[in-house]
């Protein structure tokens, strides 16, 4: 069996960009999820939290397809209340991403759930994260809405870039 080398066309950019291709990451995560289902006890997490976790997972891979370089998930700061779902670079801008997942569009839009208070909370946690990067770093807050329909297994995903702190 031949090993993977840096000259291999599918994996050669691993050295260049420092990350695995999305299909490899998705296969690894999927395999670990299946292994966990067979080995670990049944998941007793409420359905709405499972849906939210699934939405964050799909948003992560969607943003990678769009070219984001993801650097953190579920970031919390001991100094601030709240959590940032995803953090990633979009070109030279550091993005703090809130993911909202819905199983239907019958209620208010997912992105509308990120009100003024939530945006202020996100900005506060983002400032805590920014203490660890160069002070000249450009940053923004994005919202990703993930919708799961009844008939399709693939979600509809919308990205709202650079949302302001005004509601």
pLDDT attached to residue 35? 85
The CA distance from 132 to 27, in Å, is 32
**Mean predicted confidence (pLDDT) in 95-102:** 94
At which residue do the structure tokens 């291709």 appear? 21
Domain boundaries, the chain: 45-160
Q: Helix (H, G, I), strand (E, B), or coil: what is residue 144? A: strand
Q: What angle is formed at CA 132 by the lines to CA 131 and CA 136, rounded to 5 degrees?
A: 70
Instruction: State in words which class domain 45-160 has.
Output: alpha beta
At which residue do the structure tokens 């509601």 appear? 167
Strands, E assignment, 17-124: 69-76, 83-90, 93-102
Residue, of 3 and 50, whose pLDDT is higher: 50
Give the pLDDT band of residue 2 (cuts 50, 70, 90). very low
The CA distance from 69 to 16, in Å, is 13
Q: What string of DSSP letters covers 46-73?
A: -HHHHHHHHHHHHHHHHHHHTT-EEEEE
**Mean predicted confidence (pLDDT) in 136-140:** 92
What pTM was estimated for this model as a whole?
0.73
pLDDT in tens, 32-58: 888 887 777 666 778 878 888 999 999
State both tokens at 136. 């000249």
Question: CA 94, 71, 56, 45 torsion: positive or negative?
Answer: negative
The CA distance from 100 to 6, in Å, is 38
pLDDT attached to residue 12? 56
The CA distance from 144 to 123, in Å, is 16
Give the pLDDT band of residue 167 (cuts 50, 70, 90). very low
């Amino acid at each position: 069996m031949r090993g993977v080398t840096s000259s291999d066309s599918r994996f050669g950019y691993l050295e260049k960009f420092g990350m695995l291709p999305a299909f490899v990451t998705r296969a690894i995560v999927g395999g670990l999820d299946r292994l966990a289902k067979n080995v670990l006890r049944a998941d007793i997490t409420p359905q709405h939290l499972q849906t939210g976790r699934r939405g964050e997972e799909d948003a992560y891979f969607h943003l990678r397809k769009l070219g984001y370089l993801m650097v953190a998930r579920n970031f919390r700061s001991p100094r601030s209340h709240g959590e940032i779902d995803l953090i990633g670079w979009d070109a030279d801008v550091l993005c703090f991403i809130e993911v909202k997942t819905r199983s239907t569009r019958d209620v208010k839009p997912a992105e509308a759930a990120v009100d003024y208070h939530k945006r202020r909370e996100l900005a506060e946690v983002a400032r805590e994260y920014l203490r660890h990067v160069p002070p000249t770093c450009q940053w923004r807050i994005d919202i990703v809405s993930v919708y799961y329909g009844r008939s399709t297994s693939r979600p509809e995903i919308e990205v709202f870039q650079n949302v302001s702190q005004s509601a």
